[in-house]
Structures are given as C-alpha cells and as structure tokens.
Chains A and B, each alone.
Chain A
Amino acid sequence: MRVVVVGASEQAVVMAGLLIDRGHELILVDRNRDRIDELEEELNCAFLHGDGTRPSILREADPTEADVLFCLTNQDQVNILASLAGRSLGFGRVITSVLDEDFEELCGELGLEHTIVPERTIGRYLADLVEGLDVLELRTVVRGEARFFSFEAGREARGPVVELELPEDARIICLYRDDEFRLCDPDTTIRRGDQVVILTHSRHLSELRERWDPEVAEGES
C-alpha cells in the first residue's frame, strides 16, 4: 500500500518503521527540515518537506494513488485541517489523530470518520492490562468483514430491539445508557439517547450510515 503520513511525531516514526518493514510504500511529510534530516538515515522512506495542511504539498504525494493518509502531528487543529485537505484531494482513507477529546466530536461533525485518540487508546490498554485483559487483541477476534457500527438512538429507533429492522448480517450487541454498559437481548428496549452498538458485515456499513448519519454519508460521496 502507499501510505502518506503528515507529521513526523514519535508515534508516526514508530508506525512508519513498522509499515516499511511490512513492505508498504511510505511518504513522510513534515514542515521541520531538521527533523527530516534527523530521520533520513533511520527511515527507508520518501520525505516531503512542507506544511502538510497545504493541498499543494499533499498533491506532490499523488493523493488519488495513495491508500491512506495519516495525520499524526502533535497539534489537533493541524491534523484536522490536513485531514480535510487530504479528503478533498482524494486520498483513499484519511485517519486523524486527536489528543484532545473536544476535537473528537468536531471530527465527527466534519465527517472525518477515522479518528484515533492515542492517549485514550493507550490509557484503556493500560487499564485493561491491570485487569489482565488485552483488548488490543480484539482485532484477532473481530476479523475479515466484521465491523462495529454505533449510533445515537433518536425517536425513530425507540422500542424493542427486535422491531428495529436491520440488514440480514447485522445484530445489535450492546448499548450505553448514561455511559452504563448493557448487553442487548431481543427484548431489550431502546430509549432515545442510547448509544447503540451493532456488529455487522462491512457491506451494510454504508446503508447503516445513511440511516443514522445521513450528513456524514453525504459528505463521503
């Protein structure tokens, strides 16, 4: 795959190293020339020196041929702007890193669907580690075409779980009511404001998104 990374943060460098080892083609964009000079020997990838929020810079990485754009600088605003620029330039998938959870919501509203909050991910990992769990191994459980989808229940979704007409390969697994975790049975009743989690085949994702998040779905097309 052809991967473009904006921001040569420590995290980005570690990830870049792993991806290069796995045989992916990597382009690292950073505005700090000294930082690039520092990494030139360490990383066997291509470097672009410039502001990764600028379309003219990102264009040099040939966006429509790239599979993924990672925005991993240490500034959330920069990552969001770079992600928006990247999306409009036609990168296959855009992944935005935000440190401040405040911005996570904004990312959702802007239609940046792949956001990561690294500190929270690590924090949860550490917390689970204390309890003897290894949630990062989740990906070995949820494989292939399986995807999670979650939405906030509005008025139309109220009622028993069974009455919610879902695609064939999609099931409601659990919901969060007032941040409290509840497993769902067929007779569980959904209330307005519940955060509902669905396990689905990936082919139904767009359908689900259109149903519960039409604005985002439009922004994508």
Chain B
Amino acid sequence: MNSGALVYAVRGRVVLVYLGQLLLPLALALLVPTGLAALAGSWGAAGMLAGTAVLAGVAGRKAAQVPDVDDLQTNESMVVVALAFLVAALVMVPPFVSYGLTPTDAFFEAVSAITTTGLSTLPTDAEPGDDFLLMRNWLQWLGGLGFVTLSVLLVSRRGPADKRLLEGESTPEGLAAHTRAQGRRALELYVGLTLAGTALLALVGVPFVQAVGYAWSSVSTGGFVPPGADLAGMGAGARGALLLLFALGAVPLVTLHRGARGRWREALRDPQVPWLVGLGVVSAGLIVLFTEGGGSWLARAGEALFLAFSAQTTTGYAAGDPATLPAAATAVLLVAMFIGGCGGSTAGGIKIWRALVALRLGRHTVVETALPEHAVHEPEFAGAQLEHHERQAVLVLALLFLGVIGLSWLAFLAAGHPPLDALFDVVSATGTVGLSTGVAGPGLDTPLKWVLAVDMLMGRLEILAVLVLFAPRTWVGRRRSSA
C-alpha cells in the first residue's frame, strides 16, 4: 500500500475563507472588552481593541461573501481551529501590553484565558486594573464558546460514538452548515447559562460585577477570579452556587439542551454526566481522607468538594493553596485534571468519555482471553460499536497527552523545580485547568512560561490539531482542486 496519491495538503484559500468567517463573530465579541476598557478610561487598550474589531469585521464580511467549500478536509478544519485560537490570543497581546505587561506575560495571560485555563504569571502586587481582569474573564468565556462550537472540527474521523455524544440532534449535512448550526445552538444555550448563572450569583450576594466575571469564567470552566473577589472569604451559599455553575459548564451542551427541554431520559443516556459527579465526589472523599486538618468535618468536606470539582471540571478555582496539600491529595487532583470533564462541553483534560472508552477497551481485552479464537466480540460504548479508528484515536490521544506532559515536565525538572509541584502545574496547563502549586507564577523563567503556554494550547486543541499545524505535509504537497 502507498497512500501517497491520496495525501492532500491544505488549500490556503479554503483555510483563509473559513478563518475569515470566524472573524465576524470575533469582531462582535471584541466590542465587549472595548467597552470595558473605555469605561475604565484605558484609552490605549480601547483604541487597539476597537481598531482590531473594525479590521476583523471588514475582513469577516469579505469572507462571508465567498461560498462554502463543503469538502473541507480534516487537516484544513484542524488548521482553521488551531489558527483561530492562536489569532484570538494574539490580537489580545497588544492591549494587554498596554496594561504594563511584558509581551511574554501578555501572551501567557491571553493564552491562559482563551484556552479557558486560568494560570497566571502576574506578580501579586501588579495592578493592571479591573478592566484588564474582567477582560480575562470575558476572554475565557469567548474561548469556551469557541471550543464547544469548533471542537467538532477537531475530531479526525467521526464514528458513531463521537457523533452520538458530541452532536446529538439532527443537524444539516455538510461540515460548514453543520458547524454554523452547532454554533447557533451552542450560543443560545451558552448565553442562557451565563445569564442564569450571573443572576444566581447576584442572588446569593455576590456583587454584580463579580457575578458577571464569575459567570464568564465558570460556564467556560476557565477559573480566573474576577476583580475584587476573594474566593477564600466567600460564603458557603455563594461557593455552592459557583460550584453548580462550573459543574454545569463541564456538562455537554447537548445534554443541557435536552435537559432544558425536559427530555431527561435522553439527557441521561450520556454516561459522562453521572461519571462526572461520581468522580468529583470520590476525589473529594479521598482528599478529605488524605488531609489532616482542623475545622468541622462538614467544612472540610465542603472545601474538598469545591477543590475536587474545580479540578475535575478543569475550572481551577482554588479557595486554598494547592501547594499545602499532602502528596496523596495532590495525586488525586492530578488524576482528576488529567481526565477532565465531559466531551462536548468547555472542559479540558482527555475528557471523561475517552477515559470510559479506555476502560471499556481494557475490560474487552480481559474478556477476550476467555473467548475461543474465532469468536466475534467487538467492544461497545454508549450503545454503539466502537469502530477501529475510534478506539485508536482515543488511545493515541491519551498517549499524546501523556507525551506532552512528560516532555514539559522534563523541562521543569531540568530547571530544578520540585517534581510533584512541577508535574501538577504541567498537568494543570495541559488539562486547561488553572490550579497551581505556585510553580507557574511571576518568578517562572521566560522559556518555561512559553512551555506552559504551548501546553495550554496543545491541551485545548487536543494536541492533534497542533501537530497537524506544524506537520510539513499539511502545507507542502499535492492540493485538491476546490470544488
């Protein structure tokens, strides 16, 4: 076999057209930070953001007039998504620099926000302004929306299980129309959830501006704390409301959609949701078990629940300092961050459904030993047979995550960081979580900041898209003639 004749490089025009179509929504979205900066009197940032919005709007309108190409190749769609996240991060760098950040820090904050991570390397005494902090919350919200809308383009070959979990309702044929329909539905739900969350937080006593910031960073499982907010001093009711909000952020939008329409039976068919709850509760129990401490049993359980779900949903709010946790509790959080939330939501990690598929394959391999040689026995997941390429994709992705984590960890070890703390922050970045033991902080060497920034992008784009973006074959070689 020699598949060379069927290997197609990406068509620059197709990539540009699709990227261009994403510019129009970006231009609209940029109006929010423009307004924030203008209200706070940060005229430099407001000017740059407004200028970028106009440019993006003009280019986007132009791209919207070009007809769709429906035979979008997988490498093309991946390149589009990867570039979309990169572009969204890059356009925020100049405004961030205008708040007094170094270019590296500005890029780090922008990537941390757009990937819905929430790590920060800003000094604690830095005061870039409330508008900057809210802007980060907003960028997380945008990143979350972008991910739930575009993640369907990151799957190389969709099989029955992916389709069932990530798409759900009948959607129009053709990838472009499909993505747009998906985007519209996601937008409605996402905006609805954000508004409901803001109202809920305001209701339990969170000041309005903070409620908005929290809602932005929670439905996106981002985890930046809004200006003036103090998580540690937050009341139990407010913290409960926050937990509910970011837990919902880690539930697939399709499931929320069904739930919102009262179709509970359909909604619960996705095994990910009960697993999300179960994993969070078990992790919390283990954390309570491994940590000694004062305070009432109930208060400790509450703290542990908040932290466990913060890790499992890849949100990354921390009321305490994860660095003070005993090693065993840190390890529990590591596993939670690696697995992450549900596929089809804004959460990161390898996603619960992939972990379940891996589990199923493990069981399948054991059962196989009890079968005669010619018995036909195929693994199933969520009521559908797992096709060969789906199984492979799941296992390869888990391995890629481990590989990226391993290599990045090595860089931190070489720089002399404590092993467990370094591993924790690397997994946190790759899983787009945002919990930190303090390794990712203002004192971090510039090259290591870049390593974490790349980890966050890799984790958000499920690694494959980044590999595709940098593979020579993506750009050099035979191109299909556009239909």
Least CB separation from A37: chain B residue: B1
Cβ contacts B1-40/A at 8 Å (1 or 0 each): 1111110100000000000000000000000000000000
Q: Is B483 an interface residue (CB 8 A)?
A: yes
Q: Is the CB of A47 within 8 A of B481?
A: no
Contacts A40-B1, A44-B1, A45-B1 given; indicate if A27 touches B481 (C-beta within 8 A).
no
Q: Is the CB of B6 within 8 A of A46?
A: yes
How many chain-A residues does the 8 Å CB contact rule pick out?
18
Which residue of the partner chain, among B1, B6, B481, contacts A64 with CB atoms under 8 Å? B481
Known A27-B5, A62-B478, A62-B480; 9 more pairs at CB < 8 Å: A44-B1, A46-B1, A46-B2, A46-B3, A47-B3, A48-B6, A62-B481, A64-B481, A65-B481
Which residue of the partner chain, among A40, A41, A46, A59, contacts B5 with CB atoms under 8 Å? A46
Contacts A27-B6, A48-B6 given; indicate if A59 touches B483 (C-beta within 8 A).
yes
- Residues on A with beta carbons closer than 8 Å to the beta carbon of B8: 62
Q: Is B321 an interface residue (CB 8 A)?
A: no
For residues 164 through 200 of chain A, which have their beta carbon under 8 Å from a beta carbon of chain B? none
Least CB separation from B7: chain A residue: A46
Q: Is the CB of A59 within 8 A of B1?
A: no
Q: How far is the CA of A200 from the CA of B13 in the complex (A)?
A: 44
Contacts A59-B71, A62-B8 given; indicate if A45 touches B481 (C-beta within 8 A).
no
- Residues on A with beta carbons closer than 8 Å to the beta carbon of B1: 40-41, 43-47
Least CB separation from A47: chain B residue: B1
How many chain-B residues does the 8 Å CB contact rule pick out?
12
Q: Is A209 an interface residue (CB 8 A)?
A: no
Least CB separation from A45: chain B residue: B2
Q: How far is the CA of A92 from the CA of B8 in the complex (A)?
A: 19
Which residue of the partner chain, among B4, B6, B483, contacts A61 with CB atoms under 8 Å? B6
- Residues on A with beta carbons closer than 8 Å to the beta carbon of B4: 25, 46
Q: How far is the CA of A59 from the CA of B73 in the complex (A)?
A: 12
Q: How far is the CA of A10 from the CA of B352 in the complex (A)?
A: 47
Q: Is A6 an interface residue (CB 8 A)?
A: no
Q: Is A93 an interface residue (CB 8 A)?
A: no
- Residues on A with beta carbons closer than 8 Å to the beta carbon of B71: 59
Least CB separation from A25: chain B residue: B5
Can you list 16 A-B contacts (CB < 8 A)?
A2-B5, A25-B4, A25-B5, A43-B1, A44-B2, A45-B2, A45-B5, A46-B1, A46-B2, A46-B3, A46-B6, A47-B3, A48-B6, A61-B6, A62-B481, A65-B478
Cβ contacts B461-483/A at 8 Å (1 or 0 each): 00000000000000000101101
Least CB separation from A41: chain B residue: B1
- Residues on B with beta carbons closer than 8 Å to the beta carbon of A43: 1
CB distance from B208 to the nearest CB of A (A): 52
- Residues on B with beta carbons closer than 8 Å to the beta carbon of A48: 6
Cβ contacts A42-79/B at 8 Å (1 or 0 each): 01111110000000000111101100000000000000
CB distance from A91 to the nearest CB of B (A): 12
CB distance from A61 to the nearest CB of B (A): 7
Q: How far is the CA of A43 from the CA of B3 in the complex (A)?
A: 11
Residue in A2, A62, A65 with the greatest tally of chain B CB atoms within 10 Å: A62
Least CB separation from A3: chain B residue: B5
Q: Is A26 an interface residue (CB 8 A)?
A: yes
- Residues on B with beta carbons closer than 8 Å to the beta carbon of A2: 5
Q: How far is the CA of A40 from the CA of B1 in the complex (A)?
A: 5
- Residues on B with beta carbons closer than 8 Å to the beta carbon of A25: 4-5
Q: Is the CB of B5 within 8 A of A26?
A: yes
CB distance from A57 to the nearest CB of B (A): 12
- Residues on A with beta carbons closer than 8 Å to the beta carbon of B480: 62, 65
Q: How far is the CA of A27 from the CA of B4 in the complex (A)?
A: 10
CB distance from B291 to the nearest CB of A (A): 54
Q: How far is the CA of A216 from the CA of B4 in the complex (A)?
A: 36
Least CB separation from A65: chain B residue: B481
For residues 433 through 483 of chain B, which have their beta carbon under 8 Å from a beta carbon of chain A? 478, 480-481, 483
Residue in B1, B480, B483 with the greatest tally of chain A CB atoms within 10 Å: B1
- Residues on B with beta carbons closer than 8 Å to the beta carbon of A64: 481
- Residues on A with beta carbons closer than 8 Å to the beta carbon of B5: 2, 25-27, 45-46, 61
- Residues on B with beta carbons closer than 8 Å to the beta carbon of A60: 6
CB distance from B481 to the nearest CB of A (A): 5
CB distance from A150 to the nearest CB of B (A): 35
Q: How far is the CA of A111 from the CA of B312 in the complex (A)?
A: 64
- Residues on B with beta carbons closer than 8 Å to the beta carbon of A65: 478, 480-481
Least CB separation from B483: chain A residue: A59
- Residues on B with beta carbons closer than 8 Å to the beta carbon of A47: 1, 3
Least CB separation from B8: chain A residue: A62
Cβ contacts A24-35/B at 8 Å (1 or 0 each): 011100000000
CB distance from B176 to the nearest CB of A (A): 15
Q: How far is the CA of A60 from the CA of B71 in the complex (A)?
A: 9
CB distance from B352 to the nearest CB of A (A): 31
Q: How far is the CA of A41 from the CA of B480 in the complex (A)?
A: 26
- Residues on B with beta carbons closer than 8 Å to the beta carbon of A26: 5
For residues 64 through 104 of chain B, which have their beta carbon under 8 Å from a beta carbon of chain A? 71
Q: How far is the CA of A61 from the CA of B481 in the complex (A)?
A: 10
